[in-house]
A = this chain, B = another copy of it.
Amino acid sequence: MTASLPRRSLTLRDVSMASGVSEMTVSRVLRNRGDVSPATREKVLTAARSLGYVPNRIAGGLASQRVNLVAVVIPSLSNLVFPDVLGGISAELDDTALQPVVGVTHYGPAREEAVLYDMLSWRPSGVILAGLEHSPASRSMLKAAGIPVVEIMDIDGPPIDVTVGISHERAGAEMAAHILAAGYRRIGFIGTHMPEDHRARKRLAGFERVLAEAGHPLVAREYYQGGSSLGKGRELTGRILSRQPELDFLYYSNDLIGAGGLIWAREQGIDIPGRLGLAGFNGVDLLDGLPIRLATTDARRVEIGRRAARIVAGKEPRPESGVIALAPTFLPGDTIRAPR
């Protein structure tokens, strides 16, 4: 049995004819606009439902010059952190007419440009995008779009319109301060080699700055390509420690490789946090059930998503300065000694 697929979809006109009411009134009923008598209303709704009418927003958007979409542009979906941001955005948009539409850039500026072009061609009511670094063409597009543009997750730089996030420079600096206060001195770093991961870069810069100022500069670094995983963390931790066994602390650019390193170090029987301290970044709750908790920084992902959405939705005014700064929060966990 083959269901016969309708050649074209239903229009207001079909509902109008089925209900004996003008298209305009049908439109009013379906959008809950203006005054319509209960009787007419009922007639229309019945007709629409029985026909299985689904409004055509393409036409509606063109006519009204208004589309209730918010473009959300992020680097990746497999990164664990972006679903949290999306959760915040979507929770805050839930009681508005706005709907998020997600585009993924895979950390490529050219790809970001293409995604933006694409999304802007749907004339969304606002844009939320990760980071402050964009190609000149992307910046022009966003400025020319005439809609709210909220850059998120980073405030170390000038926004196009508004930015909501944490200072990664500060997050790195604060972590360095905690590590030094706990007495660690021979500190190494493990992170992605991604020129386009500006936030990781800024964190490392802040981290190194504080270490250097204290006279205990970073003594080792290990970079990797590709995605983060527990396995990668194990491997790199093994490598950096076999090369420089004197290291007493490892700072990871994210929690997942940090957790991998933690698992490896425990297998080796290394005393943590005594002989070796470890810290990651993000504060992902996925890892909460591990035997010991990795020290990390909560990047305030959900809240960032919420605030960004609030601004786009007009629930909260655009800040005068264009900047909404949240504080990165240190989570000590079990992998860093108490301060001396």
Q: Contact residues of A with B, CB < 8 Å?
A: 3, 5-10, 52, 54-59, 61-62, 65, 67, 77-78, 83-84, 86-87, 90, 99, 101-102, 104, 117-118, 120-123, 140-141, 143-147, 229-234, 256, 259-260, 263, 267, 285-291
A78 to B291, CA, bound (A): 22
Is A5 in contact with B58, judged by CB distance below 8 angstroms?
Answer: no
| Protomer copies | 2
Residues of B within 8 A of A286 (CB): 229-230, 256, 286
The complex places the Cα of A328 from the Cα of B99 at a distance, in Å, of: 35
On chain B, the residues within 8 Å of A144 by CB distance are 6, 9-10, 52, 54
Known: A9-B146, A289-B230, A290-B230. A58 touches B54 (CB 8 A): no
Chain B residues, CB < 8 A from A140: 52
In the complex, the answer to whether A232 meets B56 with C-beta atoms within 8 Å is: no
Q: A62-B58, A101-B101 are in contact. Are A231 and B289 (CB under 8 A)?
A: yes
Task: Select the residue from A65, A77, A140, A234 with max chain B CB neighbours within 10 A.
Answer: A77
Closest 6 CB pairs of A and B: A230-B289, A231-B289, A5-B146, A57-B121, A58-B61, A260-B289
